[in-house]
Structure 1
């Protein structure tokens, strides 16, 4: 590697890194808009419902849900509060740790998730996958996993 390589990005590298943040913001906004328009459900709420649906007994500590959803404790608290207001989730004191609160997916929450899944899938295909024509998705996924593991 030349010394110049450590202080400068190539034109392609520069274009890619500069496009990354606005692209991710646009994707999250588009996913949110599609879910809001179809079901009055935010993308953050959809993701929380999804993770709860995959958890044993559809139950998860709020702190664990926050981590999976990449939200702060206060943000996941607001998300769960909105879901609670529609009876899609309920909070319960943890039986394993009295200091912890669990989020529990209700039957209504599971039904709402099942209703939202096709909307979300169509949104993901339209706004993301349709833009990746000719890209090796396996290699892209591997690269994203490597980037995430550097955390």
Structure 2
């Protein structure tokens, strides 16, 4: 992973330098920062899905490192940690990999459910009540009152 990220970031860095020398080079810094944060955010969203989420996270940090110093240090550190974890992961048995994958899946679902309940109880998801309310009425009464979803 480290070599792929370094290679991609160096290509972006070369292109970035050429863009700064052009007529509208003053726009490069703000656009680079916006693009870096967007790529980083998309990468974070993609991590639990079967997509190259971590790669996108590293590229987003790499894009930010074109204009800021702290993302460069973070990128180097995070690639080392990822490579260490990847090496450790390759040594694990299928049973350990399956158990950790299952625990991660449970953690993701618990987090999503907690965010839903929090959003519902704070009124952030009021716009969904018209189509979710019929579904929630079919749930057992104890479950609905347990999470305090007011119908």
- Fold agreement, TM-score > 0.5: no
Q: Which has the larger radius of gyration?
A: 2
Higher strand share: 1
Q: Which has the higher helix share?
A: 2
What TM-score does the superposition give when structure 2 sets the normalisation length? 0.28
